[in-house]
Structure 1
Amino acid sequence: MTEVASHIVWRRGRWSLRLARRGVMASAGLALALVALMGASLCLGDYSLNLGQVWQAVFGDGDGAFVVTTLRAPRILTGAFAGACFGLSGAMLQSLARNPLASPDLLGFTQGAGLGAVATIVLVGSGDWVTAGAVGGGLLAAALVGLLSWRGGFRIWRVVLVGIGVGFTFWAGIDLLMTRGDIFEAAAATQWLTGSLNSRLWSHVAVSGIGLAVLGPVALGLGRSLDHLGLGEDTAAGLGVRVGAVRIATAITAVLLAAVAVSACGPVAFVALVAGPLGRRIAGGPGPALGPAALIGAALLVAADLSGRTVVAPMQLPAGLFTALLGAPYLLWLLAIQIRKGTL
């Protein structure tokens, strides 16, 4: 391992890995903050526990075993994994488009995944097919946005406007399905659409965790190419980047990440929009900062769920409500900035 002023370089034979020192420190700090939030979420609630009781519940058979292992741990882990998927998806799309408005919830991808999942819940029933429905809906939305916004090339303002229109269309489809389902199917879909982590099971942990484990390394592997694309397509091609292949792989990976997250916890708003810019600001580099973005997405969703359980206890509010309270003012500020720059 070699250390320089601003980077850490690992070398092993012909292979080497170069990491920005500030990015590594930022990721370590964010990981510690995420662990602290998860610990607080395990302890706090209607049935309060201390760290010793949580430890006994996890590794023994303490009084709070049911609360920790059945009620809280699945929702916390689902929130962390799904939030990381949202964060990665948003950061990849924003880096690909070189615009902070390129987020899956603004481009209609989240709504497409939501329509696919609701259609599965209403027509087939909740179960293992929800993830497949969400993935199919997300890919359909991405294909529609791409086809409708292509005019000899992509302009970000056109993609955003088309994405908003496609998103509203898919929301109309969701409303139609809700009116055609029976009361129990509609109730299940309504709870899921609020972006709530309530009643999450270990099956949701498995879906979000496996999705992140499979797609996360792919996303991180594309990070260097995305960094080069930020220098311009010609420069990136000169550095050996296969621009077309990287664009397609990035778009597909980002859509799949968003669909996995939506299938696990519903279409939680603004996490994907906020995580990428915050990650780049904290990491301090020009690249996509995918690692910090994933950690910020996880921390935001876990913190939103914790707030929903404790702010107005004993009533529980959905995590999506708190992410909307944070994200809506940020979106308005971001739109004002883009209009002032003349990019919208």
Structure 2
Amino acid sequence: MMNNTMLHIQQSRQKRKRRYIAITSLLACIALLLCGTMLMLGNTIYPVRDVVRVLLGHDVDGANFAIGTIRLPRMLAGAFAGFAFGVGGYVFQTMLRNPLANPNVIGITAGSSAAAVFCIVVLQASNTVISIASVVGGLATVLIIYVLAKGASFSIGRLILIGIGIQAMLNAFISYLMLLANTHDIPTALRWLSGSLNGMKLESTYPLIIAVIIMTPLLLYFSKRLSMLELGEQAATSLGVDTNRTRIVLIVGAVIILALATATTGPIAFVAFLAGPIAQRLVGSDFSNVLPAGLIGIILVLAADLIGQFAFSVRYPVGVITGIIGAPYLIYLLIRINRKGDL
């Protein structure tokens, strides 16, 4: 009887593992398809053959500039920013055990945005300085929210409410900076604040690409401990997890890629909010969803950018499209949580 039970458990786990691999592979294929579509579509549609030749360094009449200079940086920025927002949002939602505890809602991206806007409109700094300031602003915001939320005992609900308040303050600060800005800096800042892939340059994507390549293996390594944190503080500790060290590593790693994504493309709305829940709905909660959440982030950003470019008579920034998609879900989630009394 015991052997039959163990065999049934192993078979169920293998089945769930196969489902995880199959869905993750499918998401990766969709993400790659969208990347290719981003390189092919534009004022001129190029066949796959020409795209591949340009990427391999060959000269193709009329295609090198369009693909290599305009479309490739746009695609890379969208893909890596989408992955960063998806992973970062999933880490915070899982670690704090609340779908509202994502970087957009609790003010982390607002902290990075405020630092970046200050560098753009006041200091008129370089992209390197903007990237560094975004990381510092994001980490400082996390620290302030945590200190204010800790009190006598740590409360996730208190952290979310304080984060919402901090976000409102930072958005007010950003509005004040816009009033002080020179006229020629305002369009740049507004386009950046809406979350846009327009005018991307290849060199501006390097810090984000490097950060994602370095931080993703680290976050994947800690993903099992992240799943244990979802069980609660006492349960994770009893399973041998150093909760304080794990939280520090996860928070720093997630904030770094989130801040650099924000510095590169602006705060693309709701990607960090949607990617984790969608991944959990598709894959389940038996395995870590760090990688599926990142892939869904890529899909959301690239699909939204294609819709914004080609589905309407007027071209819209990617953040406008993701905002239209994500806002109804946020309202639904707030109504559901209010009925449960979880906040």
Query: TM-score normalised to the size of structure 1?
Result: 0.91
Instruction: Name 2:11's counterpart in structure 1.
Output: 5
Instruction: Name 1:121's counterpart in structure 2.
Output: 120
> Contact between 1:121 and 1:185, CA under 8 Å: does it hold in 2?
yes
- Cα distance per residue 1:41-89 (max 9 Å; x no partner): 2112222222222223323211311111111110111110011110111
Q: Which moved more, 1:227-236 or 1:288-297?
A: 227-236
Question: 2:86 and 2:212 mapped to 1: Cα distance?
Answer: 11
- Cα distance per residue 1:197-217 (max 9 Å; x no partner): 001111232122111012111
> Contact between 1:115 and 1:174, CA under 8 Å: does it hold in 2?
yes
Aligned match for 1:40, one of 37, 40, 46 = 37
Would you identify which runs of 4 or more consecutive aligned residues in structure 1 move more than 6 Å?
none
Superposition pairs of residues 83-98 of structure 1, within 5 angstroms: 83-98=82-97
> Contact between 1:280 and 1:287, CA under 8 Å: does it hold in 2?
no
Deviation at residue 287 of structure 1 after TM alignment: 4.6
Q: Which moved more, 1:279-288 or 1:297-306?
A: 279-288
> Contact between 1:280 and 1:288, CA under 8 Å: does it hold in 2?
no
**Residue 49 of structure 2 is aligned to residue 52 of structure 1:** yes
Instruction: Name 1:245's counterpart in structure 2.
Output: 245
Aligned match for 2:23, one of 22, 26, 32 = 26
> Contact between 2:208 and 2:257, CA under 8 Å: does it hold in 1?
no
Question: 2:112 and 2:288 mapped to 1: Cα distance?
Answer: 24
**Residue 252 of structure 2 is aligned to residue 255 of structure 1:** no
Look up the equivalent residue of 1:38 and give its one-letter code.
Answer: C
- Cα distance per residue 1:205-235 (max 9 Å; x no partner): 2122111012111211110101112233222
**Residue 67 of structure 2 is aligned to residue 68 of structure 1:** yes
Q: Percent identity?
A: 36
Aligned length: 330
Question: 2:147 and 2:234 mapped to 1: Cα distance?
Answer: 24
Question: 1:254 and 1:50 mapped to 2: Cα distance?
Answer: 37
**Residue 241 of structure 2 is aligned to residue 208 of structure 1:** no
Question: 1:244 and 1:308 mapped to 2: Cα distance?
Answer: 42
**Residue 134 of structure 2 is aligned to residue 134 of structure 1:** yes
Change (3 A) 1:290 1:26: same
Question: 2:327 and 2:104 mapped to 1: Cα distance?
Answer: 12
Which is helix-richer, 1 or 2? 2
Instruction: Name 1:162's counterpart in structure 2.
Output: 162
Question: 1:232 and 1:163 mapped to 2: Cα distance?
Answer: 21
Unaligned regions of 5+ residues in structure 2, if any?
1-9
Question: 1:144 and 1:287 mapped to 2: Cα distance?
Answer: 32
Q: Which moved more, 1:123-132 or 1:273-282?
A: 123-132
Superposition pairs of residues 209-248 of structure 1, within 5 angstroms: 209-248=209-248
Question: 1:178 and 1:343 mapped to 2: Cα distance?
Answer: 37
- Cα distance per residue 1:134-177 (max 9 Å; x no partner): 11111121122112222223322221211111111111111111
Instruction: Name 1:100's counterpart in structure 2.
Output: 99
SS in structure 1 of the partner of residue 222 of structure 2: helix
Question: 1:171 and 1:230 mapped to 2: Cα distance?
Answer: 30
Instruction: Name 2:4's counterpart in structure 1.
Output: none
Question: 1:98 and 1:205 mapped to 2: Cα distance?
Answer: 32
Query: TM-score normalised to the size of structure 2?
Result: 0.92
Which is strand-richer, 1 or 2? 1
Unaligned regions of 5+ residues in structure 1, if any?
9-18
SS in structure 1 of the partner of residue 72 of structure 2: helix
